[in-house]
Amino acid sequence: MEPTVETSCGRISGSESRGIRLFKGIPYARPPEEHLRFQPPCPPEPWTGVRKTIRPGPVPVQASVPWLSFLNAGGARQSEDCLYLNVWTPGVDHGKRPVLVWVHGGGFLIGAGSTRVYEGSLLSRRGDMVVVTLNYRLGALGYVHLNDACGAGFEHATNAGVRDQIAALEWVRDNIERFGGDPGNVTLCGQSAGAMSIGALLGSPKGRGLFRRAICQSGAAHNVHSRERAREIAEIFLHELGNPSRDPKTLGSIPVDRVLKAQGATNRRLTSLANLMVLVPSIDDDLIPKPPIEAVRRGDTAGVPLLIGTTLDEWKLFSAIDSGLPTLSEGQLVDRLAQVLPAVGPHVPEPETAARLYREAVRSRGGKTSAFEVWSAFQSARVFHFPASLLAESQAASGADVYSYLFTWRPPALRRTLGACHALDLPFIFGLTGHPAARAFTGFAGSASRLSTRMQQAWISFAHTGYPGHERLPSWDPYDGRARATMIFGRECSIADAPLDSERQLLASWA
């Protein structure tokens, strides 16, 4: 018999598999099409009868990125009508189970909540909790901010993708109890751009109260444009779009392939080694009134326990699109540092000195010191490790419980080329290390399966209690700015104080 639930907009039916009830393709907002393009999400239209929710809804409009096929949903059915979510639950009862809401990554350009690597059945079953994945608008449709560039009719046309996430969280608040979940015990979890979205939500007054805890995997609270920069990007996008009339009807009638073409041209004009992502959240009047890290430092999020971490070799994933990276020469390393160092801060040394100092810092932790390894370590720290440490330290200083981790497991066949790269932790969290899509990275290593179980249980424990420790891990001390206790997730798990600290101190002294 199909499980059914009465939601706030109408009755839905799902499916069941091995004791887990699945509901896929539930609309949480009206299709943001035509005059609603670029605008904040609107509540969905109610329906009569029983709506079948057994297949995911269309994925957000996005370009295809073949080298990220395990994350990219570009080959699936795309539509601007994409604001859907999916629910896995052990029972449509009054179980008051913890709820884990997953925000996918993809650089704010690609991905979907229905991507196969985010299959929530095992987490739901193992953790006796409700798992929710969601779509949100991507690229120009989600992160071109038109309030200042277009004026009347676009007063709140900012951060559409973040507003979508808030609308999905509001749907969870209003409906998840009917799926056996506890609306007062929601853990928001995301990776990469998903974690950066959570960082933005920590700085949003409209997001507060919609989640109790947060898990940030390879993302923090620094990827937000100033309002001035957001307007500059919007003007360039509108130029690439052909300078159309700036009213909702006109902008809503432009074919979406032209929007994608203008998005691509805007990215090509503005992307650099120093500025990797162009279309990201922005400061605005009401949703994100100040840089999120400032809100955290001020104590606005003091009541939110945080689990945050990174992978050791984050940047090595991107060697797939940088063909010269594995054979980088010392001169090329210095040239790259010359391009990037001005974005680090006002106290950076000359590029040659920076290369020498960073190599020494990498050597001090036993890392390899070729130009390729030093550049990868530097970018991993600049983009991921250092921002994560700043968010962890700021949130801990507010009095919140903070737990830090570092993922160091390396695939046996790709230890040097990819290492513990960005996004490698995803199949470990969802229990899919044996899935064909992940096996190219994890192989048949028994250590991968064992680590996956330990990491899953840590995420489950955190969602239940706010403490990620359990009997298969060493005692996990909270993070503070002195000891910087960090769980090392590797072939064996251990607790370490201040890992990568020489590199963190260098970046802090240059900032």
Residue 395 has a CB neighbour count (10 Å cut-off) of 27
Greatest CA separation found in the chain? Answer: 69
Burial state string for 213-236 with b = 16 or more CB within 10 A and e = fewer than 16? bbbbbbbbbbbbbeeebbbebbeb
Clarify whether 192 is annotated catalytic.
Answer: yes
- Contact criterion met (CB below 8 Å) for 377 and 354: no
Closest CA to 301 of 384, 200, 385, 223: 200
Query: 416, exposed or middle or buried, with CB in 10 Å at 0-12, 13-18, 19+?
Result: middle
- Contact criterion met (CB below 8 Å) for 131 and 430: no
Clarify whether 282 is annotated catalytic.
Answer: no
Sign, CA dihedral 98-103-105-110, equals: positive
Alpha-carbon dihedral angle through residues 225, 228, 230, 236, given to the nearest 10 degrees: -140
Give the span between the Cα atoms of 238 and 251, in whole angstroms: 10
Residue 342 has a CB neighbour count (10 Å cut-off) of 10
Give the span between the Cα atoms of 198 and 273, in whole angstroms: 24
Helix or strand (DSSP H, E) at 173: helix 160-175
Name the β-bridge partners of 4.
Answer: 13
- Contact criterion met (CB below 8 Å) for 135 and 85: yes
Give the span between the Cα atoms of 84 and 510, in whole angstroms: 43
Q: Which spans in 325-414 are helix H?
A: 330-344, 351-364, 371-380, 386-397
- Which entry of 240, 422, 464, 503 is annotated as an active-site residue? 422
Clarify whether 314 is annotated catalytic.
Answer: yes
- Which entry of 192, 282, 452, 461 is annotated as an active-site residue? 192
- Contact criterion met (CB below 8 Å) for 309 and 404: yes
Contacts (Cβ under 8 Å, ≥6 apart) of 367: 373, 377
Q: Assign 103 to helix, strand or coil.
A: strand
Q: Assign 84 to helix, strand or coil.
A: strand
Residue with tokens 């046309």: 157
- Write the Ramachandran bin of 223: left for phi over 0, alpha for psi from -120 to 50, otherwise beta: beta
Alpha-carbon dihedral angle through residues 459, 461, 462, 463, given to the nearest 10 degrees: 90
- Which entry of 240, 314, 373, 503 is annotated as an active-site residue? 314
Q: Assign 485 to helix, strand or coil.
A: strand
* Residues making up the chain, counted from first to last: 511
Catalytic residues: 192, 314, 422
